[in-house]
Amino acid sequence: MSFITAVVIGATLAVVAMIAKTRYASFMAQTPADYADGPLFDIRDKFNGPIICEGVMYGPTGRVISRFVADFEASWDGNTGTMVEKFRYDSGLQQDRCWTLTLSNDGSIKAEAPDVIGAGTGQQQGSAVVLNYRIKLAKEAGGHALDVTDWMYLTSNGSIMNRSQFRKFGIKVAELVATMRPRDKAYAGE
């Protein structure tokens, strides 16, 4: 076997391994069915009333690039909900977003917001909810359009853990990890 043939075979195997990892063993490989056996995460129940959210954002190198606290207020009329979010970042920046969420009887979700391009889609099943959407960042944040995958997991105490990845051209450029819980629920340190 020649050196060039060995390099081509090695490069091909590396690409195949990377694609297999992304497809079968990564954040993006999760499906709602993976969480079907957990406690029921009904967004009409868990995203209702005042909610506190605390989180961090990581840049492409894995270092924290921002911290935030947010207050959400959510309400439902049947299967249509509105969630108003008010973010306060450690940089002093404040950001508001208003989601309109529509839940179908099969657990599928349509998610719309002014900075979301088109409509996001998602699914609630068992103890998890996934949302996929394309967001247009504010000019202060670069103005880029990013593809977002939000996974939210219901914990045993009723809090929600959120992990989101932001991608441009399929490459992860940021990640968010946050908690959400009812505003009136007391926790140590408050």
Looking at the DSSP bridge assignments, the partners of residue 98 are 84
What is the DSSP track for 43-109?
HHHHS-EEEEEEEEEE-TTS-EEEEEEEEEEEEEETTEEEEEEEEEETTS-EEEEEEEEEE-TTSEE
Does 138 have pLDDT greater than 60?
yes
Cα separation, 132 vs 130, in Å, equals: 7
Residue type, 65: I
The pLDDT of residue 25 is 55
Is the domain spanning 32-182 CATH 2.40.128.20? The answer is yes
* Model pLDDT, residue 19: 60
pLDDT-derived band of residue 190, with 50, 70 and 90 as boundaries? very low
Question: For 144-149, which contacts have Cβ atoms below 8 Å and span 24 or more sequence positions?
Answer: 144/168, 145/117, 146/173, 146/174, 148/120, 149/27, 149/28
Tokens coding 180: 């959400």
Q: How far is CA 129 from CA 24, 46, 50, 136, 163, in A?
A: 19, 11, 19, 22, 11
Q: Reply yes or no on whether the pLDDT at 3 is more than 70.
A: yes
Amino acid at residue number 26:
S
Question: Structure pTM?
Answer: 0.81
- C-alpha 121/C-alpha 130 separation (Å) is 8
- The model's pLDDT over 141-163, given as tens digits with 9 standing for 90+, comes to 778 899 999 999 999 888 999 99
Residue 183: predicted pLDDT: 87
Condensed to tens digits (0 to 9), the pLDDT of residues 19-59 reads 655 555 566 778 778 888 878 899 999 999 999 999 999 99
Would you state the pLDDT for residue 189?
Answer: 45
Q: Which of 115, 154, 106, 152 is nearest to 133 (CA)?
A: 115
And the tokens for 134? 């394309």
Q: What is the biggest distance separating any 2 CA atoms in the chain, rounded to whole angstroms?
A: 68
pLDDT single digits (tens) 57-100: 999 999 999 999 999 999 999 999 999 999 999 999 999 999 99
State yes or no: pLDDT of 188 exceeds 50: no
Question: Once rounded to an integer, what is the mean pLDDT over residues 113-132?
Answer: 95
Rounded average pLDDT over 6-26:
66
What per-residue confidence (pLDDT) applies to 58?
Answer: 96
Backbone φ/ψ region at 22: left (φ over 0), alpha (ψ -120 to 50), beta? alpha
